Structure 1
C-alpha cells in the first residue's frame, strides 16, 4: 500500500482506535494481498511506544517503512555477536530485498554473497538454526491459529501487537526459506565432499546407513574420524562438517532401519553391537589412521556407551557423551516412573526413514491425548487406544517396569564397566533432563573400573545448552559469564586435539570434576563427586506450621504431618511445579503438596552436589510415587528452583526388584540421586522443601494397589491415599564451606 493511501486510512479511522480496542475484520488467509494490507493497516494503528527495538523494527517492516526498518536492523546487527544473529541476518537481507524491484533475485544474490563470505563455523551455525531447527512451519501455523481464533470485530492492543509480530515471522521465513535453504546447501557442496549413500552390513544381516564428510582442499593424509551415532537421521550433517572443518573426517552412522537402511527401525536395542561394527568399518577405510573418537548428546550420548558394552574397539580412543540418556534409568522412565513424553518420541523416530516432524509438532494431538487420559482415568496402557494408533515401542516399554534384562542388554552393566579404559569427557547440566543418565554412567564407571581416566564437566545448562553453546539466560535466569563456554565448537575439539593429537588439555578441565558455581562467576575443580562437599545442612520435617509453611527443624522430632490425595479427583493435579521452568519466580503454589521452610541462613553457603532424602512415613496403600523439590527463598522473596527428585517407593531400595510397602506400617525410603547442582546461597535465604505425591497428566499415576501401575485405573481410586510423614524424615543439602 502506498503511503498516501495509508495516510487516508489513518485519517478515516476513529481516534479511539489508538486506545484499547482496534477494528478488525477477517479476510481469507489464502488471500495473501488482502492479508498483507490488513496487517499493514493494523501495524500502523498499534501503539508501539513501549516495544523493544527489535519489535519496533518488525512493525516498521510490516508498515512498509523499509528505510527506517533497515536502519533499525543494522543497528541491532552491529550490537549482536556474529554467532547469535542467524535470524537477524535473514531480516537484514529481507529488508534490503524489499527495497529492490525484484525481491527474490535480490535476496538470493545478497544471501549468496553473505554465505560465501562467511567462515565454516558461521555457515554451520546457519544450517543448525535455519535448516536443522527450521522454524518456518511453526511460525506459519502459529500465526494462522492465532488469526483464525479471533472471533470479534474489535481486538485489544496486546492481541493486535502479538498478531503483527507473528505475521512478521510468518512472512519473512515463508518467503525466504526455499532461497536460504538452497544457498546454504550449495555452499556446503563448495566446502565439503559428502558421501551420504554408504550402507554397510551388520553381522546379523541388518543394514546401517552412513555419511562420510571431508573438507575440500585438505591433504590426502590419513586422518582420525569423529563419529556421531544417531537415530536422528538427517540432522547431524552439520556436526560431521564441523569435524571436517577442524581437520578430522566427520562420520555419521544412523540407527539400523534409518536413512537408506532397509532394516526395521529398532531404537535402543541394537546399538550395543551395531556401533562397535561401525567403528570396525571406519578403522579399515583407506582414509582412516585407525583412530576413532565419538561425541554427541542425548540418544547420541547413549550410543557411545552402548558401543563398549561387550568390549572397547581398539580403534576407539575417546568418547564425549553429552547429556547421555541411560535406557531404563532415566529414559523412558525416571526412578521407575514412566513419563509420557516418550510416547510421541516413538512416532517421531519410527514413522519414516528420517524424522516425522509433523507428528512430533502436533502439540494439539499430544496435549489432547494426555488430558483425555487424565480426565477419563483409564489405565496408562490404554494411551494408544485413546490415540487411535498402535505404539509398539510404548507397549514394549510397559512390559519392563523394572531395570530388567531388556534394559541391561543395551549398555554396560556392573562389571562390564571395568574394561572401559579409554579417556572420557562427560558433559551435563544442572537442569538437563538426562542428568541422571549422565551421572549414572559416571558413577558406575568409577565404581567398577580402577582409576578411570574420566572427566566430568557440569554447569547451569539444560538438555540443549549442554550440547551446544549456552545463551546468556536459561529459563529467565541470567547466567554468569564464566558459564558461557562454547561446548560444541571449541571444548570438545580441544579435547579431541588433546587425546588424538597430543595437544594441551582443555584449560577448563583442571581436575576430574569441573563445575560452575552459580552466582559466583567461577568454576570449581575437584578430584571426585564426593570431594565437591565438605559439610551438610540437614533439615527435618516438622508439623509446626505458620500460615502456609511447615517448619524445617535442625533435629528429628516425634511430630507427624498428614497428607491426603484423592486420585478420583480429576479437576485438579498435584506436583505440577515439579519441572523447573522458570528457574526463578516470585511465588510458588503453596496449596500443592506439603511446603516446609527453614530459618534464614546465617551466612553464605554453596550447595554442591545432589541432595539426600530420608523419608519416614506410613501409607494406607502398597505403593506411592513421591517427589521432593528444593528451592532457595531469597532475601528478596523470590523462589529459585535448586533441585528435584521423583521416585517410586517400591523401587527405592532396588530398581531391579519391586518391594511393595505394607499398608499403615512405617517405612523409610532413601535416595541420593537427586539432580546435582552448584549454587551460592545468600545469607538471609531460606530453604523451602516441597514434598508431594505425583498425580498429573505427565506420567503414570500410581494408585497404590500393588498391581502393575500401567494397568491401574481410576477404578482403583475408591479410597484416597493417606500418607503420614514423621519428624524423622530429613532432607540433607551437601555444601561447601
Structure 2
C-alpha cells in the first residue's frame, strides 16, 4: 500500500511538472503590430490562468492577481489581492500599493453587473472605497495612485521584456507570467492612472488644506521646497511634524497627509536641489544647516503652536540626526527610523565601501525628483560584474556605468576613514551631549542600516548618560523598521508579537511628547527588543544589562567534521588555522555577499571562508544584542577585509541566520585612522559594530560561525597592498592571501536562560 501511494505521488508530481513546463504560443505580430498587443496579451493571460500551477502561498497570489485583472477575471483578482495582503502584512493596504488594483477589480465587476462603461464604474468604486476608509488609512493610498513611475516608463519596460522573445514563437509558463505582469502594470496605469490621480485629488481637497511647492530660503543661497497639509476645519494652532526628504515624489504627500490625519500639521520638505530648488543636489552635506532654518520657518507660522517633531526612515533618519547637530529650540523630539549612519554603515560599512552607493547616487541625483528607472535597470549588475571579473579598481565603477566620472562617488571615495567630512554632517562625540530632547529610534535585525541606528543610540548615551532615548528593534527589514513588518520575512514567519505598526508607534510617541498623552505601551524601558522564536518582547535600560550571561567562544584549531570547534575554554597552547584565498581568481560562478538571502534555509554559503561550530545546547537560551570579541591573526599582506556570519543550526540541520560583521582590519581599532598590518606578524583587533539579534535558541541547536575574507562584486576589494583600497586593481593581488588565525581569537555572545 505504501509503495502504491508513493507511485501515485510520483505520477502526480510528474503530471504537474509537464503541465507547468508546457509552452504558450507567442504570435509574431506582437512584435511588429503594436495595435495587436492588448488582444494578444489578454489571450496569453487567459491561457496562463488555465495552465499555471495553483497554490495558496502569498507569493502565488502576488504573482497572479495582475494577470487575473488583465484576463478580466475581476472577482478572482480581488480575492487574490485580499489573500496576498492578509498573508503579507498586518496593514490592510500594504502601504497603499494595492489600492489602485483593488479598485480596478471592483470596477470591473461593477461595470459588468450594471452594464456601465468601465471608467464610470471606476469612479464609483474609487470614491466609495476611499470615503469608507478610516482616516488613518487614507495616506496609505497615496503612493498607489500617485505612482512615481511614469506610464511611459512602464510601457518601455514591457517592450524591453518583449524584445527578449523576439526570436521565439513560444513561452514557458514562467516567461508568460512575467510578460503578462509587465504588460498588465502598464495597461492598468495607462487606463486609470490619471483618472485615479484626479479622483484622489478631488477627495483630498474636501478633507485637507494643501499648500504645494512652497519655497523656503535657508541662507547662503540655499533653498528647499515644502508641502504643507492640515485637516480642514482646524481652528487652533497645532504641533508640526517635519519630514526632511531627498526622495522628492509621492512619499512627501503621503507622510504630510499622515501627519494631518493624526492631528498635526504635516510639513514634507525636500532637500537642496529637489523640486523647485535651484541648488546643486549634494546628498547629506547641507541638511543640518538647512533644517535649522526650516524648523525656524515652520515654528513661526500661524498654524503652528511653536512645537516641531521630526520623523522618517533611512535618509530621513539621517536628516533628523543632522538637525540635532545645532539644535533649534522649537524641535521638541525626533523619531529616526532605520537611520543611515553616514560614514558608519553607508556608503561604507565599517570602512568598506559598497557598490550600491553609485546606484543610489544616480537614483537621487539624475533629476529633480527620483529616477525610478535606476532600480529597474540591469546596467548596475552588469557594471558590478565587469568591475569584478576584469579586476578593475573600485574607483572606476562610475566610468564603467556612466562612461565618465561621478563627482559625488569620487568625492566620497576620498574619505575612507571616518574623518571630518563625515563628522561634520551629524553630531560628533561631545556634540551628542547637547541633545536633550526625547528620541525614539526604530530599526530591525535585518535592516541594512541597523549599525547606523545603533551607532546614534550608543553615542547619545555615551556622551549624555541622562539622555531620554528609546530604542525599538525586532525582526524587521529596512522597510519593516519604518513602515509595517512583513508577516513572512525572507522565509521566516515572524512571531505575532512582532506584528506592530511603526507608523502607529511613532504617532503614539508624538501624542505622548507633544500632546501630553500616555507613553506607548511598548516602551517599558530604554531598549525594547523582540525575541525571535519566543513570541515576546523584552525590555532593559542598557545593552550592558541586557544579558545575565556571556558565551565566550574560542575559534579553536580542533576539527569537528567539516567545521572547527567553538570552544568555551581558552586554549592552553597557542595553535592556529591557516588557509588561503587567491584574490586574482575570478569566475562568473563565484557567489557574492555574505548573506544567502533567506533567514531560514538548508544550505549555507561558506565560499572564501572557514567555519566553527558549538556543541548542541543542553537547554533553551536567548541570545541578545550584538556579538563582539577579538581576532588574532597574521597575514602575508598589509590589510584585509574580514567578514563573520553567525547562524543557529537547528537539530534537523537547517539554519537560522542571526547576525553578520564586515570590517577593514586596518580600521578595526579606530575607524578614523588607518593602521596597516605588518606582514607575518600577529595582529589583534576587536570585533565592533556587528548586527544585533535576539533569538530563542532551542535545546539541541548549535551556533555556527563563518569566518572569511571579502571578495565580492558588491563591495570594494582589498588587495592588501596598503594603498588606498579604491585604487587597487587585480594586478595588485600578487600571491594568494595567506591567513593564519590564532586559536585564542574569540567571539562573545550575550545570553539569558529561558524562563521555565
User: Common fold, TM-score beyond 0.5?
Assistant: yes
Report SS of the residue matched to 2:363. helix
The structure-2 alpha-carbon separation of the partners of 1:695 and 1:464, relative to structure 1 and needing over 3 Å to count, comes to same
What's 1:12 paired with? Answer: none
Q: Which residue in 1 is equivalent to 2:486?
A: 471
Q: Report if aligned partners of 1:230, 1:252 keep a CA contact under 8 Å in 2.
A: yes
CA distance in 2, matches of 1:304, 1:591: 39
Q: Which deviates more from structure 2 when the two are superposed, residues 42-51 or residues 120-129?
A: 42-51
Post-superposition shift, 1:704?
Answer: 0.2
Paired residues for 1:457-606 under 5 Å: 457-488=472-503, 490-557=504-571, 558-571=574-587, 576-579=592-595, 581-606=597-622
Residue number among 108, 113, 135 corresponding to 1:95 in the alignment: 108
Rounded to whole Å, the distance in 1 between the matches of 2:614 and 2:78 is 54
Question: Where does residue 688 of structure 1 map in the other structure?
Answer: 704
CA distance in 1, matches of 2:20, 2:621: 51
Task: Give the Cα separation in 2 of the matches to 1:556 and 1:574.
Answer: 36
For the Cα contact (< 8 Å) 1:574–1:695, is it kept in 2? no
**Closer, same or farther: CA 70–279 of 1 in aligned 2, 3 Å:** closer
Q: 2:407 aligns with which of 373, 377, 392?
A: 392
- Please, which moves more after superposition, 430-439 or 103-112? 103-112
CA 1:206–1:272 in 2, change beyond 3 Å: closer, same or farther?
same
Shift, 1:83, TM fit: 3.4
Matches within 5 A, 1:49-448: 50=55, 54=61, 62-64=70-72, 69=76, 72=79, 76=83, 82-84=92-94, 86=99, 89-96=102-109, 99=112, 100-132=115-147, 144-150=159-165, 151-161=167-177, 163-164=179-180, 167-219=183-235, 221-234=236-249, 235-310=251-326, 312-358=327-373, 360-387=374-401, 388-448=403-463
Match of 1:466, SS state, is coil
Q: Aligned pair in 2 of structure 1 residues 575, 24: CA closer, same or farther (>3 Å)?
A: closer
Quick one: distance in 1 between partners of 2:543 and 2:81?
A: 48
TM-aligned CA deviation for residue 56 of structure 1: 7.0
CA distance in 1, matches of 2:161, 2:280: 40
Give the deviation of 1:671 after TM superposition.
1.6
The structure-2 alpha-carbon separation of the partners of 1:371 and 1:283, relative to structure 1 and needing over 3 Å to count, comes to same
Once residues 643 and 589 of structure 2 are traced to their aligned partners in structure 1, the CA distance between those partners, rounded to angstroms, is: 14
1:609 and 1:648 mapped to 2: Cα distance?
22
Q: Distance in 2 between the 1:19 and 1:580 partners? A: 27
In structure 2, distance between residues paired with 1:198 and 1:57: 40
Report if aligned partners of 2:151, 2:189 keep a CA contact under 8 Å in 1.
yes
Secondary structure, counterpart of 1:236 in structure 2: helix
Tell me the alpha carbon deviations over residues 580-623 of structure 1, each in whole angstroms, 9 at most, x when there is no partner. Answer: 62111111124441121211111111011001131111000000
- Cα deviation per residue 1:175-206 (whole Å; 9 max; x = unaligned)? 33232222223322222111123212223121
Q: C-alpha separation between the residues in 2 aligned to 1:153 and 1:342?
A: 40
CA distance in 2, matches of 1:561, 1:268: 43
Deviations along 1:37-77, one digit per CA (max 9) or x if unpaired, are: 541563365254557684776666555555x6378569859
Q: For residue 473 of structure 2, give the secondary structure of its aligned residue in structure 1.
A: strand
d(CA) in 2 for partners of 1:142 and 1:534?
A: 55
1:160 to 1:303, Cα distance in 2 relative to 1, 3 A: closer
**Higher mean displacement: 598-607 or 137-146:** 137-146
Bigger shift: residues 628-637 or 31-40 = 31-40
Q: What is the DSSP-based 3-state SS (H/G/I as helix, E as strand, rest coil) of the residue aligned with 1:618?
A: strand
Q: 1:612 aligns with which of 625, 628, 639?
A: 628
Which whole-Å CA distance do the structure 1 matches of 2:345 and 2:697 have between them? 28
Instruction: Find the counterpart in structure 2 of residue 714 from structure 1.
Output: 730
Q: 1:188 to 1:567 in 2, by over 3 A?
A: same
1:607-651 deviations in Å (ceiling 9; x for gaps):
110011311110000000010000001112211110000000000
What is the DSSP-based 3-state SS (H/G/I as helix, E as strand, rest coil) of the residue aligned with 1:213?
strand
The answer as to whether partners of 1:21 and 1:157 remain within 8 angstroms in 2 is yes
> Closer, same or farther in 2 for the Cα pair 1:28/1:595, shift >3 Å?
same
Q: How many residues align?
A: 717
> Which region of structure 1 is more displaced relative to structure 2, 257-266 or 610-619?
257-266
- Secondary structure (helix, strand or coil) at the match of 2:378 reads helix
Report Cα offsets for 1:192-249 as digits up to 9, x if no partner.
1111232122231211222221111222x11111111111122222111111111111
| Distance of aligned partners of 1:683 and 1:391 in 2 relative to their CA distance in 1, 3 Å threshold | same
Distance 2:264 2:313 in 1: 19
| Shift, 1:476, TM fit | 1.6
CA deviation after TM superposition for structure 1 residue 402, in Å: 0.6
Aligned partner of 2:718 in structure 1 is: 702
| Deviation of 1:315 (Å) | 0.9
Question: SS state of the match for residue 219, structure 2?
Answer: coil
Give CA-to-partner distance per residue, 1:541-560, whole Å, 9 cap, x none. 12333443222222233332
Determine the structure 2 residue equivalent to 1:28: 30
Q: Is the 8 A contact 2:22 2:172 kept in 1?
A: yes
CA gap 1:37/1:647 in 2 versus in 1, 3 angstroms: closer
SS of equivalent to 1:687: strand
Q: Distance in 2 between matches of 1:548 and 1:140?
A: 51
Equivalents in 1 of 2:714, 2:84: separation in Å? 40
State the shift of 1:391 in Å. 1.0
**Cross-structure match for 2:661:** 645
Go from structure 1 to structure 2 and tell me whether the alpha carbon gap of 1:450 and 1:555 turns closer, same or farther (over 3 Å shift).
closer
* Match 1:43 to one of 43, 48, 53: 48
In the superposition, relative to structure 1, how do residues 204 and 162 fare at CA in structure 2: closer, same or farther (>3 Å)? closer
Is the Cα contact below 8 Å between 2:557 and 2:565 reproduced in 1?
yes
Q: Give the match for residue 633 of structure 1.
A: 649
**Per-residue deviation, 1:329:** 1.1
Q: Secondary structure at the match of 2:30?
A: coil
Q: Which SS does the other structure have where 1:438 is aligned? A: helix
| Cα 1:636–1:362 shift into 2, 3 Å | same
More deviation, 466-475/546-555: 546-555
Q: CA RMSD in A?
A: 2.6
Report the 3-state secondary structure (helix = DSSP H, G, I; strand = E; otherwise coil) of the residue aligned with 1:439.
Answer: helix
Q: Which moved more, 1:412-421 or 1:136-145?
A: 136-145
Cα shift at 1:286: 1.5
Secondary structure in structure 2 of the residue aligned to 1:496? helix
CA distance in 1, matches of 2:85, 2:291: 45
Query: For residues 642 and 81 of structure 2, what CA distance do their matches in structure 1 show?
Result: 53
Q: Is the 8 A contact 1:42 1:160 kept in 2?
A: no
Distance 1:70 1:398 in 2: 48
> Could you say if the C-alpha distance between residues 178 and 448 of structure 1 is closer, same or farther in structure 2, counting changes exceeding 3 Å?
same
Distance 1:384 1:73 in 2: 42
**Unmatched 5+ stretches in structure 1:** 1-15
